[in-house]
Chains A and B, each alone.
Chain A
Amino acid sequence: MLHVAVATRAFRRYSTYTAATLAGIFTNSVFGIIYSYAYLALWAENPTAGGYDASDAVTYVWLGQALLMTVALWGGGTTDDLAERIRTGDVAIDLYRPVGLLGWYLAGDLGRATYHLLTRGLAPTLIGVLLFHIQLPDGPVAACAFLVSLPLAVTVSFALRFLVASTAFWLLDASGPRVLSGALAMFFSGMVLPLVLFPGWLGTLAQALPWSAMVQVPNDIWLGKYPGTEVLQALGFQLAWALALLGCCALTLRTATRKVVLQGG
């Protein structure tokens, strides 16, 4: 119950900035249009590239724009607050709360993600439907599986961002690792280019890494690329990475709180 309360507060906190949200939706849509034409040109040259057709590709673009903020690919969300609180030493207060720090921040980030999904996720999707007639989910199973895959995608992303923020325990300033991890996330999530187009070993590697759980896997579920029970495998892949990474977070947090002397008096 407490975590639900944390999540709702985070949701409301982000919903304060209406102008920022509208500006963000506008920007997402501009990028959606640019990438749509780029992919239309690509699939005009090679109509079956990566096992997608042109309509799959354009749908992929707009779903990617919708997920960009929802899964906080560039970073941001509650993990940025955490990094700042580690730097200032305020994290000491978080640590003596009678509730786990990891769960507290995860709940907050899920609240934030819900807000971003309903605004910066939904709006670009609708614009994509209007301008480029993108596909709707491939049947009710795909739609349900997509909804399940979203919190998993956010959790994988959260855990990675949490690990990056934790570097502040040792480095004090986590902005360097944050930039690096953002660059990797953009590339290996399939945001720069669908991972299905990555040639050879690069494609195999990219599809196995946790970042693919953030954009490529949810998009493929929406597009119905996982027939029958393969959907469960896809969700299992996300779940496995989510649990493994949360485990790493818990471990890192334990090491940090035992070994590191916090800033501040």
Chain B
Amino acid sequence: MAEVSTSIVAPARNYVDIATLWVRAAWAYPGSFLMMAFGSLLITALDFVGIWAMFASIDSLGGFGLREIALLYGATGVGIGLADTMIGSVERIGVYVRTGRLDQMLTRPVPLMVQVCADQFTLRRLGRITQAGIVFGWAATYVDWTPSRIVVAVVMVASSTVIFFAMFTGFSCIQFWTTDASEFANAFTYGGNTLTQYPLSIFPREIMVGLTFVVPIAFVNWYPCLYLLGREDPFGLPQWLQFCSPVAAVASLAGALLIWRTGVRHYTSTGS
């Protein structure tokens, strides 16, 4: 028991220590920091203005109204925002391989995953989280809340954070093999975020099945939000899927960690 707790507590403390260092470093240029935080808020806010502007020409998209889409939008936005804050530099792992920094990291007595995630930790994504949170809060007034729905909502945010964390980590590992293919992961991370801003009813059934059973992006917000909104699944899939987000989260995290392990094992230094 003591061993288990130290294997979690010590890395967590390391993570916090390194992250604090980076936060203080970023604050050395407060102007730049604030502009970046505002920029990250602006990017996602304008994304939502785009969705809002769509509704100048239509009343519903794929059978869902603006408030319902705002709920989907807010949920996925908070999820990817939290995950993106936690993963730090995983996206740029290829750069570490290329410059040989990974070698340095491997010699330090802190788990590699912790070092990479805490490296370049930045709070500027708070901009995105705040913006998505506001949209989510606005849409939440539309939901008919019950105790079970509150539980599903909380679990949804936690699960979507974990799923996006897994996507960032797992798909970034391709850079262990081809160091400059960092954009490949974007298709799943930011692509997954964009995709889940829309009701999945606009996609063909095959894509839907793929997003449920192959890359479990649909569990980020779609299934739990169907429950929150009390809506029938437009594809006629069973209702129990609406409670399966934590299962999808654990499965994708396990998959991502496995790929990470394989990637690190495969890694041979550039020799520089």
Complex contacts, B203 vs chain A, CB 8 Å? 37
Nearest Cβ in chain B — how far from A54, in angstroms?
13
Contact B58 A49 (CB under 8 A): yes
Nearest Cβ in chain A — how far from B98, in angstroms?
11
Complex contacts, A24 vs chain B, CB 8 Å? 183
Complex contacts, B10 vs chain A, CB 8 Å? none
Alpha-carbon distance A171/B34, docked complex (angstroms): 14
Measured CB to CB, the nearest residue on chain B to A191 is B50
A132 at the interface (CB under 8 A from B): no
B18 at the interface (CB under 8 A from A): no
Alpha-carbon distance A17/B179, docked complex (angstroms): 10
User: Which of B36, B59, B180, B194 is within 8 Å of A17, CB to CB?
Assistant: B180
Measured CB to CB, the nearest residue on chain B to A48 is B57
Count of CB-CB pairs between chains A and B under 8 Å:
114
B40, B47, B181 interface centre (most CB from chain A within 10 Å) = B181
- Stretch in contact with the other chain, from B76-84, B104-112, B152-160, B184-192: B184-192
Interface string of B39-51 (1 = CB under 8 A from A): 1101100110110
Contact B39 A41 (CB under 8 A): no
> Given A42-B57, A183-B42, A186-B43, do A27 and B181 touch, yes or no (CB 8 Å)?
no
User: Which of A19, A37, A193 is within 8 Å of B54, CB to CB?
Assistant: A193
Interface string of A42-59 (1 = CB under 8 A from B): 100110011000000000
Interface string of B198-220 (1 = CB under 8 A from A): 10001110010000000000000
Say what secondary structure dominates the interface of chain B: helix
Contact A197 B181 (CB under 8 A): no
User: Which of A37, A180, A197 is within 8 Å of B35, CB to CB?
Assistant: A180
With an 8 Å Cβ cutoff, the count of chain B residues facing the other chain is: 42
A residues 158-200 in Cβ contact with B at 8 Å: 171, 173, 175-177, 179-180, 182-184, 186-187, 192-193, 197-199
A19, A20, A177, A180 interface centre (most CB from chain B within 10 Å) = A19
Interface string of A197-236 (1 = CB under 8 A from B): 1110010000000000000000000000000000000000
Contact A31 B187 (CB under 8 A): yes
User: Which of A20, A31, A177, A182 is within 8 Å of B182, CB to CB?
Assistant: A20
With an 8 Å Cβ cutoff, the count of chain A residues facing the other chain is: 39
B270 at the interface (CB under 8 A from A): no
Complex contacts, A184 vs chain B, CB 8 Å? 42, 46
Contact surface of A with B, Cβ cutoff 8 Å: 17, 19-20, 22-24, 26-27, 30-31, 34-35, 37-38, 40-42, 45-46, 49-50, 171, 173, 175-177, 179-180, 182-184, 186-187, 192-193, 197-199, 202
- Additional 8 contacts, C-beta under 8 A, given A20-B181, A37-B198, A42-B58: A20-B180, A35-B194, A37-B203, A49-B57, A171-B32, A176-B35, A182-B43, A187-B46
Contact surface of B with A, Cβ cutoff 8 Å: 29, 31-32, 34-36, 38-40, 42-43, 46-47, 49-50, 53-54, 56-62, 178-184, 186-188, 191, 194-195, 198, 202-204, 207
Selected A-B contacts with CB under 8 Å, 8 pairs? A27-B183, A34-B198, A176-B32, A183-B42, A184-B46, A193-B53, A197-B53, A199-B56
